[in-house]
Structures are given as C-alpha cells and as structure tokens.
C-alpha cells in the first residue's frame, strides 16, 4: 500500500465524490498542484470523473483549472499599509530564521514588503553590512542602528508595493553586485518557482536575483504551492527557502528534492 493510500481515512478506490474532492484539496495544499491522470489512477476512477471533481472545485472557487489538472488559487496581495499589521508574530519568527543566513561584511539586497521589513529589523548590528533596498520602510528600520551602510534605490515609488519600481530602479540595481538577496514573494511553486503579480515589480525582483550570489525566499504558508501572474525566477535559481514552523514534511521535501535548502522558523509568538 502506498503512502498516499495509508494517509487516507478510507481506501481511495472506495471514496465518494465529496470525499475524493476533500482529498484533492489536501493534495493541492501539500503539493501545490494535482494531475488528473495521476488522481484517476490513485482513486481507480476514470479521468472524466476526476475532471468533473476539478470543475466542481473550481466552480466553488477552491482551485484553478489548468490543462491536465489544477492549481491552488493565487493569494492576492493586499496594500502594504494593511500587510504591516497582519501576522506580525509569524513574520518576526520568519525574520529571525532568515537573518541566520547573513554573514559579516556582506552586501544584501532587501526587497519591499512587510516580511522583508521584519528581516531588516532583525539583522544583527556591527556586522559591517551594506543593505541595498528599494523600500523606504526597510531603510527606516536600519537608519538608527549601528553598523549599516544603506543604499536606497530610486525611482517611482508605488505606495501599494511600498518600494521603487520601474526602469530607473532596475537600472540602478544592475550596477550593483550583492552576496545575498531577499526578494519579496507573492507565490512560490515547486514546478514554476517564484511568482509576482505586478509586471514592473517582477522586473525589479528579477534584477535582484540576477545581481546576487544567492537568493533567499521567505514566505508565509499561504504563499506556498501557489502561482501568480508573472514568473520572477525558476526554482533552480533559489538557494534558500525560509518557511513557517508548521509547514509539513512532505511540502518541505518537495523543495529540498529540487536542490533548495529549506529553513523552518521557530513557532511564532502570536
């Protein structure tokens, strides 16, 4: 008996349509995508039955139908003003784990975003760090602390994003070489990599990845296994993934088998 069969409450071949759909939703959350032909074999039903299940789930707004299977729905990005006060304990826990990747004397690129602002606030002092950022919030988090050189990238500031984007910002970034970057992530998918919603913001994130020796993606659990509109980078271009404490082993393994080092944060205070 396979692991997937053992994990199910009843034999998969005996599952009723509603039970089958609940199991499909669990697979979507843990694996980030499902393939109709694979599900049909596991449940010992026709592909038409699985496609009908996926259509019903999509009609309920629970997944996105794609050719051959389904994906979780992407999580829309709320304005920065709102994100500043959401899940602060979880983001601080992620930040504490993320800064363990930082070494003395490094040049860091830190993107806009509430999680990345938490990373800036958690950086150790007197490490001789240079921080390159497009985000006023990140710069402000470091200005009154000792031992940081701050390079603020200019350009048009998008208040929803909380940072400078556009051609000028990308051009400035391309003149710099960093050791490690923390691009903001709207979505991360095992097959597709790192994703974003805004085309100009994605170009800036892409430039960060290209200008850095290593890339560390720090995400809350709702962004794992989802995709957005524009791809920032392939998963092969990401060296580190920092996730929350409660992310299950199967999900972590899906990324480690692709060569990404997964770092699990401690439990959040909240």
**Which residues are CB-neighbours of 171 under 8 A, at least 6 positions away?**
none
Angle between helices 17-31 and 249-256 (to 10 degrees): 50
The pLDDT assigned to 93 comes to 96
- Same CATH fold assignment for domains 3-71 and 80-264: no
Q: What is the CA radius of gyration of the chain?
A: 20
Looking at CATH, the fold of the domain delimited by 80-264 is given as Rossmann fold (3.40.50)
pLDDT digits (tens, 9 = 90+) for 8-34: 445 565 678 888 888 888 887 666 678
E strand or H helix that includes residue 89: helix 88-98
Q: What is the pLDDT of residue 173?
A: 94
Other CB atoms within 10 A of residue 163 CB: 28
Q: Angle at the Cα of 251 (from 30 to 3), degrees rounded to 5?
A: 75
Q: How far apart are CA 234 and CA 251, in angstroms?
A: 18
CA angle, residues 153, 158, 164, in degrees to nearest 5: 10
Helix, strand, or coil (residue 35): strand
C-beta separation of 132 from 206 below 8 A? no
CATH fit for domain 3-71, picks 1.10.10.10, 3.30.1330.20, 1.10.1370.30, 2.60.260.20: 1.10.10.10
pLDDT score for 6: 38
The answer, yes or no, to whether residue 81 has pLDDT greater than 70, is no
- Mind spelling out the 3-state secondary structure of 39-79? HHHHHCCCHHHHHHHHHHHHHCCCCEEECCEEECCCCCCCC
Q: Which of 73-87, 94-108, 153-167, 198-212 has the lowest mean pLDDT?
A: 73-87
pLDDT at 83 over 90: no
Q: Which residue has the higher pLDDT, 94 or 82?
A: 94
pLDDT, residue 3, reads 40
What is the percent of the chain with per-residue pLDDT over 90, rounded to a whole number? 51
Quote the CA–CA distance of 209 and 232 in Å, as a whole number.
9
The full set of domain ranges for the chain reads: 3-71, 80-264
Helix 136-143 / helix 114-122 crossing angle, nearest 10 deg? 20
- With 0-12 CB in 10 A as exposed, 13-18 as middle and 19+ as buried, what is 237? middle
């Amino acid at each position: 008996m396979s692991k997937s069969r053992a994990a199910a409450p009843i034999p998969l071949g005996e599952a009723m349509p509603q039970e089958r759909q609940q199991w499909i939703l669990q697979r979507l959350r843990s694996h980030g995508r499902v393939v109709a032909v694979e599900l049909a074999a596991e449940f010992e039903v026709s592909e038409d039955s699985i496609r009908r299940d996926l259509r019903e789930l999509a009609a309920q707004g629970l997944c996105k139908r794609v050719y051959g299977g389904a994906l979780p729905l992407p999580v829309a990005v709320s304005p920065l003003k709102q994100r500043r006060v959401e899940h602060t304990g979880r983001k601080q826990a992620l930040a504490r784990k993320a800064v363990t990747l930082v070494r003395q004397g490094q040049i860091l690129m830190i993107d806009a975003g509430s999680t990345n602002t938490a990373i800036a606030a958690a950086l150790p002092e007197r490490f001789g760090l240079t921080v390159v950022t497009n985000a006023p919030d990140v710069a402000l988090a470091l200005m009154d602390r000792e031992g940081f050189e701050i390079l603020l990238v200019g350009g048009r500031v998008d208040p929803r994003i909380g940072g400078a984007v556009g051609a000028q910002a990308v051009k400035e970034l391309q003149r710099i070489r960093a050791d490690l970057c923390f691009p903001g992530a709207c979505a991360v998918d095992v097959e597709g990599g790192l994703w974003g919603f805004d085309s100009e913001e994605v170009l800036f994130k892409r430039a960060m990845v290209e200008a850095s020796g290593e890339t560390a993606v720090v995400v809350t659990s709702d962004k794992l296994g989802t995709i957005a509109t524009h791809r920032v980078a392939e998963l092969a271009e990401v060296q580190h993934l920092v996730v929350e404490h409660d992310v299950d082993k199967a999900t972590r393994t899906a990324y480690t088998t692709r060569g990404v080092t997964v770092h699990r944060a401690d439990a959040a205070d909240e």
